[in-house]
Structure 1
Amino acid sequence: MSLSTQPAHTAAPTRLDSPVLDVVVPVHNEEIDLEPCVRRLHAYLSASFPYRFRITIADNASTDSTPEVAGRLAYDLPEVASVRLAEKGRGRALKYVWTQSDAAVLAYMDVDLSTDLGALLPLVAPLISGHSDLAIGSRLARGSRVVRGAKREFISRSYNLILRGTLAARFSDAQCGFKAIRSDVAARLLPMVEDTGWFFDTEMLVLAERAGLRIHEVPVDWVDDPDSRVDIIATAVADLKGIVRLLRAFGSGKLPLAALRDQLGRDPLPVAGVPAGLTGQLIRFAAVGVASTLAYLGLYAALRMGLGPQWANFVALLLTAVANTAANRRLTFGVRGNDGAWRHQTQGLIVFGIGLALTSGALTLLGDLHSAPSQPVELVVLVAANLLATAVRFLLLRIWVFRSRSPHPAQTHP
């Protein structure tokens, strides 16, 4: 895996006679299905696709007669090319061919042609026009029509739920073998994709989404191939390992997604009077705030049994303030890695001091008004004071602690 967002040096330059679309068909030991698949795809593109195209057969370490079939197709059909890789891996084959291609749009589909070819033009049209950066066929989107067994349906939906829960993925179908990407995006995104097998698709989509790229989804008609030789258990284990690896990479901040976002990402649409990203930050801050407030009240109630109100308030607020700053740093303001973490916590403690002054002042005022207020009354006063402290906290976190800093000129990317 490369951490550079610069285009791959091996990428072929685009010429006037270069194809607009390069459809890659990755294969491993597909001597029976390969020829009818490629001839059907070629006939469809010749009749229905309005731009120059190429079909590239990417043979990854086949041990049967697949290479001979691919060579014969490349000889018979001028728009067909054949590439042979010595190592197995669908992701490896796609990454190699896509980074070598001179086409403007790069796509791939499985050799079984489970997805109806009528979705191909809707898949790539937004990429040709520049409207989107990647496109995926989705078997789970509204309007799709799918024929497959209950077991595969359950596995597919479960996998996508796992992606949503662990990686906060918003795309609906990571595994459908029907995807496309603009070549300029691929040149910068693919060096960061580490997986060489079936997790390649998921990793590419998650990184693209984190970098602010636009992913277009097309509902597809899809019929399951009953002869599929995919090892479901081995694939599932590899996918789970890939998810863990991505979580570690995001947690360490080692992936240069910010640089990729600066180069290719799409900024939110401007709304008069609303700073960019404010709405999403408010929602995430509110969620963190609710969790922090509940934790604070629970700690205060527990500590109040052995401490006075001021000390119980101080300890509970200090503990939740540290956790709140860490959560907002990562979730609300999207700061990854350890750089600046101690500074952020120090500034967060200053913000904590302001919140402490507000809540302690509220308790002092309550004590002046009532000599022995009940615990429910104390909690009500603290909730009100915390609401005011929360508003102040958000403003200070946004404009001071986690404010956007312009990169030094020497760190900017072309």
Structure 2
Amino acid sequence: MDRGAHLVGGAGGRVSGAVQPRRLVHLSSPIDLEVVVPVYNEAEQVRSHVERLRAWLDDAVACSAVITVVDNASTDDTFAIVSDLAASTPGIAALHLDRKGRGGAIRRAWSSSDATVVAYMDVDLSTDLAALAPLVEPLLRDEYDLAVGSRRLPGSQVSRGTRREVISRGYLAIAHLALGTRITDLQCGFKAMRTKAARDLLPDVVDDEWFFDTELLVLAERRGLRITEVPVTWVDDPDTRVRIMRTAWKDLRGVARLRGRR
């Protein structure tokens, strides 16, 4: 673990500074699945949503699973809340980072995981959890290396505002044209990888913010990884922390960089 990070696990221990073991939850190894939940200033909803996810994993996913909540330099009580939750609840760990960036949070947790499969989802649970088992089960069977939740496949159900829908479709069209990707949804916050594949690929992913998803998927395609997409039911979060236009501009710059890299 890098400097500037603190980890709280099921045993209530805190780790900081140099590299230390991350498996501090109340489950014995090996772990099948680690679900990473990046958060930033989510004090109002983080406890209830993580508890809901933990209950779902216990009831509906037929594998050993842990949750790691990664706090991205929150300025509210988010990390105190998730630390308390991790200290008192088996199968939950809390990691604090001193820098913002969803991609950086996923990178940090995935790179140090000892689970067979790593996944991530947004804390608002915009994606219906019913899609979680279909997302990870093919990876656990080693049928694919990477699974992508998609809002564009037949069977998907999406509820979102017109502005975000137009921007999303425009970005996807540009990415398809410029990067040659065939993936139908690059930005849905609902993805999973076999951990070995993630460790091999992550050193080449440059972005640590929102373009992380696109870069990860495009590089996976270029390397010939086995990729599957899963239809999801998705409801837009009206209280999103995403600054849409700023993020879209950064994503377009990322597309230009990745196109040149090709």
Which residue is 1:191 aligned to?
203
Contact kept in structure 2, 1:11 and 1:99, CA below 8 Å: no
Equivalent residue in structure 2 for 1:23, among 35, 57, 67: 35
Contact kept in structure 1, 2:117 and 2:139, CA below 8 Å: yes
* TM-score, structure 2 normalization: 0.89
Which residue is 1:219 aligned to?
231
Matched, 1:74 2:86: yes
RMSD: 1.7
Alignment of 1:6-405 (within 5 A): 17-250=29-262
Structure 2: 5+ residue stretches without partners: 1-18
Which SS does the other structure have where 1:217 is aligned? strand
Distance 1:76 1:145 in 2: 36
Moved over 6 A (4+): 10-16
Which SS does the other structure have where 1:73 is aligned? helix
Distance 1:67 1:104 in 2: 27
- Matched residue type, 1:96: R
Give, in angstroms, the shift of residue 170 of structure 1: 0.2
Contact kept in structure 2, 1:59 and 1:83, CA below 8 Å: yes
Give, in angstroms, the shift of residue 229 of structure 1: 2.1
Deviations 1:94-113 (A, max 9, x none): 00010011101000000100
Distance 1:214 1:51 in 2: 22
Distance 2:41 2:91 in 1: 22
- Matched residue type, 2:33: L
Distance 2:65 2:123 in 1: 17
- Matched residue type, 1:30: E
- Matched residue type, 1:86: D
Give, in angstroms, the shift of residue 150 of structure 1: 1.4
Deviations 1:219-276 (A, max 9, x none): 00111111112101110111011111111211xxxxxxxxxxxxxxxxxxxxxxxxxx
Give, in angstroms, the shift of residue 16 of structure 1: 7.0
Deviations 1:176-221 (A, max 9, x none): 0000010010110000000000000000000000111121100001
Give, in angstroms, the shift of residue 159 of structure 1: 1.1
Aligned residues: 241
Give, in angstroms, the shift of residue 71 of structure 1: 0.5
- Matched residue type, 1:112: D
Which SS does the other structure have where 1:218 is aligned? strand
Which residue is 1:357 aligned to?
none
Give, in angstroms, the shift of residue 19 of structure 1: 1.4
Which SS does the other structure have where 2:69 is aligned? strand
Which SS does the other structure have where 1:37 is aligned? helix
Distance 1:169 1:12 in 2: 37
Which SS does the other structure have where 2:155 is aligned? coil
Deviations 1:11-62 (A, max 9, x none): 9799971310000000011101100110000011111111110000001111
Which SS does the other structure have where 1:72 is aligned? helix
Distance 2:241 2:142 in 1: 36
Report the CA distance shift for 1:16/1:72 in structure 2 as closer, same or farther (over 3 A): closer
Report the CA distance shift for 1:113/1:19 in structure 2 as closer, same or farther (over 3 A): same
Distance 1:235 1:171 in 2: 20
Which SS does the other structure have where 2:104 is aligned? helix
Structure 1: 5+ residue stretches without partners: 1-9, 251-414
Distance 1:239 1:188 in 2: 23
- Matched residue type, 2:189: G
Which SS does the other structure have where 2:239 is aligned? coil
Report % sequence identity.
Answer: 52
- Matched residue type, 1:91: G
Higher strand share: 2
Deviations 1:326-383 (A, max 9, x none): xxxxxxxxxxxxxxxxxxxxxxxxxxxxxxxxxxxxxxxxxxxxxxxxxxxxxxxxxx
Report the CA distance shift for 1:132/1:55 in structure 2 as closer, same or farther (over 3 A): same
Contact kept in structure 1, 2:160 and 2:236, CA below 8 Å: yes
Contact kept in structure 2, 1:12 and 1:101, CA below 8 Å: no
Higher helix share: 1
Distance 2:58 2:208 in 1: 31
Which SS does the other structure have where 2:147 is aligned? strand
- Matched residue type, 1:196: D
- Matched residue type, 2:44: I
